Amino acid sequence: MGLLGLKNLLYYAEVHNDLARKTLLHSHHPQYGYSYAIVGINLTSMAYELMSDGLLRTHFFNTVCGRPSLDDFNEVFCYLMFEFDKFWMKSEPENVMAFGRVRDEFKQTIDAVLKFVPSAKLALDDA
């Protein structure tokens, strides 16, 4: 996940610069900060797992004409990064050691959306 994770972070910074800056700023929060790159690599792994498990099939069917490309995967990563940041900040973890628990809760939330919403699409709202 290392190289792919770095490519995902680079894509996020280049294509969704304002959102990437917002999440980077949150990662430096004095109380709820987290390691931006490590979270990114973990979310790359999560996106790959979602794809391997077939949970992204409906998302890609609803959003991509033809075969999904690396950019389509990058967009899923960007969505996960932005949404995880919101989830992390909202959970107000005691410290960064809560990462595993919060990541697992986030994964359950994403799994539920993809499993139980027939028209599920993971799309960034550049707000």
The pLDDT of residue 127: 44
**Tens digit of pLDDT for each residue in 43-100?**
999 999 999 998 888 888 888 888 989 999 999 999 999 999 999 999 999 999 999 9
**Amino acid (1-letter code) at residue 60:** F
CA angle, 1 then 11 then 6, to 5°: 30
pTM score? 0.89
Tell me which DSSP letter residue 28 carries: T
